[in-house]
Amino acid sequence: MNVSPIRLRVKELRTVRGWSQEELSRRAEIRQATVSDLETGKAKSVDLALLERLAKAFGVDAGYLFVTMPAEPKGRRK
């Protein structure tokens, strides 16, 4: 799975919300190093469980993490 669009979307969603990597890791119940590796491109793959945790933390559908458009749907921000 190509991680590039996912890493860009995760970083965008996190910064739009004003969350640190630590805050996202807490909300998604994952390690902060996992968030860092994903955002910096060190992670070469992403499994479905991680996608589901990230999507739940952001309050979006998992498929939204694959979208490369820069804008977030209105009303999705928490």
Is 63 within the bounds of a domain? Answer: no
Is 72 within the bounds of a domain? Answer: no
What is the C-alpha to C-alpha distance for residues 46 and 72, in angstroms, rounded to an integer?
Answer: 21
pLDDT at 33: 98
**What is the tens place of the pLDDT at every residue in 7-63?**
999 999 999 999 999 999 999 999 999 999 999 999 988 999 999 999 999 999 999
Is 66 within the bounds of a domain? Answer: no
Contact assessment for residue 21 and residue 39, using Cβ atoms and an 8 Å cutoff: yes
Q: Which CATH number is 48's domain given?
A: 1.10.260.40
pLDDT at 50: 96
Angle at 23 between CA 22 and CA 27, to 5 degrees: 120
pLDDT at 13: 96
**pTM (2 d.p.):** 0.81
pLDDT at 74: 55
Structural domain count, the chain = 1
